[in-house]
């Protein structure tokens, strides 16, 4: 123990301003990684990995265990290679976020060049009617990230966005009512699309443990892309909206329209940055 304290004091004695900058950079990198994996299953895995590393360090430093030390040295390269496999979804999500950062200004110009106002009005009108009739629906609005890999899982439509078309698509017991509708610009690209379900660890801490598949799919697609998802509950008729893995529920028609307008026309919306300022982690009702 005295040797450890002596080594720590020796390190602090040799510390200069360049060393402080070095430590701060490493700290910022680890902080950024923790922010990226916050609220995901990776936190649990990371906690387990750290616990194992601490136990191994204590056993190898406090006791003379040559066979155990040899086993750790032999297995360590395999563990290092296994880390990218274990954390593959989180690594992919982090790289996607970094990639989106470079397209921020291009995204703004693209959104302004597309006339999304008519699409938003059609989606809002359809959501209001579906909510009144308690017909379940899942509508995905494409933004910068392409959703081609998800549209290929559904039925291609390539038709104009109208409230009547959306209502017909989600009419119960029709061939296209299951799955999601994906909209790009002013076109319904595909219906009955299969989306990834949310893997967020936040769901495990919610008071409502059993989440509906529509809401899970809405959170899942917004965790891996920058799309906006609108969900209509089949049991309650409640309207929810999801973005960046977050979800709010029980929106009225006016609030839904204002939120969508804030995404595509922030300069026209009175609720600019509404989603970022008033979008806590809220969990929907249990439904399909």
Residue with tokens 């006016």: 254
Is the pLDDT reported for residue 73 higher than 90?
no
pLDDT over threshold 50, residue 272: no
CA distance 232 to 250: 9
Q: Report CA dihedral (209, 215, 219, 221) to the nearest 10 degrees.
A: 140
Q: Which residues contact 156 (CB under 8 A, 6 or more apart)?
A: 189, 190
With tokens 């989606």, the residue in question is 123
Contact 211, 283 (CB under 8 A): yes
Strand order in the sheet with 246-248: 155-160, 187-193, 180-184, 137-141, 228-232, 239-243, 246-248
Lowest mean per-residue pLDDT among 65-69, 151-155, 232-236, 274-278 = 274-278
Could you report the per-residue pLDDT of 187-234, keeping only the tens digit for each? 999 999 999 888 765 555 555 554 678 888 998 898 888 899 999 998
CATH code 3.40.1700.10 region(s) in the chain: 107-277
Tokens at residue 32, please? 């950024």
Cα–Cα distance measured from residue 274 to residue 279, given in angstroms and rounded to the nearest whole number:
8
Average pLDDT over the chain, rounded to an integer? 76
Q: Lowest-confidence range among 20-24, 43-47, 173-177, 192-196?
A: 43-47
Q: Please give the pLDDT value at position 112.
A: 43
Integer Cα distance of 120 and 72 in angstroms: 58
Look at residue 246 and tell me whether its pLDDT is greater than 50.
yes
pLDDT tens, 249-268?
888 889 999 988 888 776 55
pLDDT at 156: 94
Q: How confident is the model at residue 105 (pLDDT cuts 50, 70, 90)?
A: very low
Q: Which CATH architecture has domain 107-277?
A: 3-Layer(aba) Sandwich (3.40)
Q: Note the pLDDT of residue 288.
A: 43
Regarding predicted confidence, which is higher, 157 or 266? 157
Which residues lie across from 231 on neighbouring strands?
138, 240
Give residue 89's pLDDT: 63
Q: Which of 242, 202, 245 is nearest to 223 (CA)?
A: 245
| Cα distances (Å, whole numbers) of residue 54 to 23, 34, 66 | 21, 18, 18
Looking at per-residue pLDDT, the higher value among 129 and 271 belongs to: 129
Pairing label, strands 228-232, 155-160:
unpaired
φ, ψ (nearest 5 deg) of residue 178: -85, 145
Q: Which two tokens stand for residue 119?
A: 């699409």
Residue 4 predicted with pLDDT over 80: no
Distance CA 53, CA 138 (A): 43
């Amino acid at each position: 123990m005295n040797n450890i304290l002596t080594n720590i004091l020796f390190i602090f004695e040799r510390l200069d301003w360049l060393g402080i900058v070095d430590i701060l950079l490493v700290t910022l990198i680890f902080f950024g990684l923790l922010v990226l994996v916050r609220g995901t299953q990776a936190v649990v895995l990371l906690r387990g990995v750290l616990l194992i590393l601490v136990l191994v360090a204590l056993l190898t430093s406090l006791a003379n265990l040559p066979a155990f030390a040899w086993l750790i040295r032999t297995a360590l390269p395999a563990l290092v290679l296994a880390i990218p496999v274990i954390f593959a979804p989180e690594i992919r999500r982090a790289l996607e976020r970094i990639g989106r950062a470079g397209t921020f200004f291009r995204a703004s110009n693209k959104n302004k060049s597309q006339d999304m106002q008519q699409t938003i009005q059609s989606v809002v009108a359809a959501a209001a009617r579906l909510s009144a009739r308690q017909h379940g629906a899942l509508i995905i609005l494409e933004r910068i990230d392409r959703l081609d890999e998800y549209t290929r899982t559904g039925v291609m439509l390539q038709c104009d966005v109208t409230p009547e078309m959306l209502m017909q698509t989600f009419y119960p017991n029709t061939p296209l009512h299951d799955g999601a509708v994906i909209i790009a610009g002013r076109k319904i690209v595909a219906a009955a699309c299969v989306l990834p379900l949310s893997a967020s660890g936040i769901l495990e801490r919610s008071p409502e443990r059993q989440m509906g598949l529509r809401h899970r799919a809405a959170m899942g697609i917004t965790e891996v892309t920058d799309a906006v998802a609108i969900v209509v509950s089949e049991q309650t008729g409640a309207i929810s909206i999801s973005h960046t893995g977050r979800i709010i529920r029980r929106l009225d028609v006016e609030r839904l329209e204002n939120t969508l307008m804030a995404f595509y026309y922030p300069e026209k919306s009175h609720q600019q940055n509404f989603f970022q300022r008033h979008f806590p982690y809220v969990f929907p009702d249990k439904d399909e």
